[in-house]
Amino acid sequence: MESHSVIFSFMIIFGCLPETDGITLRIQTSVKGLLDSDLLLKLSFHLPVSYPSSLPNISIDSEQLTRAQCKEVKERLLEQAKRHLSEPMVYELVLWIQQNIKHIVGQSETSVCNEKSTLSRCISAEDGIWTILLHLDHMRAKTKYVKTVEKWTSDLRLTGRLMFMSKIILILLQGDRTSIKEYLILQKTSKVDVDSSGKKCKEKMISVLCETKVQSEHKRFQAFEVKEYSTLDELQKEFEAAGLTDLFSEFVPALLK
């Protein structure tokens, strides 16, 4: 019975390509991600003329996953596809990703910090107090946005800073790692800002610069505060006071380039 209910969550769109190129099958499906949050996946399968004797080309897109996580999902799907070579496989692959996405995303979060970072101290599977540094591209509805972030951090008992310096907007959070994950889900799935036409929209221009367990040299923030800085030196001193000089040096100056 379960397999019959799953198929109705698919939305399938056929793409038209020249006959010699095969066809493209686009599928949207809602799955349960971390913390049982709804996760919308957009999967594209390009089926060559020789399919299923040849593997399909697969692409993955989701506003709620990082590029690294989408890449991991794609690689895992291709591994599964090899097991179904010479037999129809798209339906089986979609069912498989629905059943395994939570495990895949959870695994990728234990090894990814910033996609360009090689910090060995970044995410591990350990519990404890963590620090996460986020970068926002812009805030159009600043007053509402700030109040929303303050409410989320209060509800989740997170401390840290929302920092403005010229065009740089950073969110530095500390707290239980589960609470940080919940914050990220809220940040990526809630309509917290407005677009250029003034309509409410989700945050699509946020990046996780780093996530690291609080070390002995780090100082715990006692509260969450919103601060504005006139110069980069002022911003640097905020990081230095928290024992996060290395974090500042590795990620912040690059945002000015």
User: How does pLDDT run across 147-197, given as a tens digit for each residue?
Assistant: 999 999 999 999 999 999 988 999 999 998 888 988 988 888 888 888 888
Q: What is the mean pLDDT of each run of 10 residues along the chain (257 residues)?
A: 40 50 84 64 89 90 80 88 89 87 62 39 54 90 92 93 93 91 87 84 84 77 93 93 90 87
Domain boundary among 109, 137, 161: 109
Report if residue 117 sits inside a domain.
Answer: no
Question: What's the whole-model pTM score?
Answer: 0.52
Pair (78, 142) in one structural domain: no
> Could you identify the residue written with the tokens 């019975």?
1
Same domain, 166 and 248: yes
Looking up tokens 């339906």, which residue turns up? 91
| CATH for 29 | 3.10.110.10
CA distance 231 to 180: 28
Q: Tokens for 234?
A: 């002022």
Whether residue 164 is found in the same domain as residue 240? yes
- Concatenating the DSSP letter of every residue in 158-220 gives -EEEEEEETTEEEEEEEEEHHHHHHHHHHHHHS--EE-TTS-EE---SEEEEEEEEPPTTSPP
17 occurs within a structural domain: yes
Q: Tell me: do 149 and 105 sit in the same domain.
A: no
Q: Are residues 37 and 151 in the same domain?
A: no
Q: Could you tell me if 60 and 172 lie in one domain?
A: no
Are both 86 and 137 inside the same structural domain? no
- Yes or no: say if 29 and 94 are a contact pair by the CB < 8 Å rule: yes
Largest CA distance in the chain: 63
Number of domains in the chain: 2
H or E element at residue 148:
helix 142-155
Tell me: do 138 and 29 sit in the same domain: no
118 lies in some domain: no
- Could you say which of 109, 141, 159 is where a domain stops? 109
Residue listed under structure tokens 């010699």: 20
What is the span of the domain harbouring residue 32? 2-109
Same structural domain, 133 and 249: yes
N-terminal to C-terminal alpha carbon distance within the chain: 55
Same domain for 247 and 133: yes
Residues 105 and 143 in one domain: no
Q: Are 42 and 24 a contacting pair, CB within 8 Å?
A: no
Give the model's pLDDT for residue 123: 38
Question: 96 and 156: one domain?
Answer: no
In a domain, 219, yes or no: yes
Residue for token pair 């917290």: 192
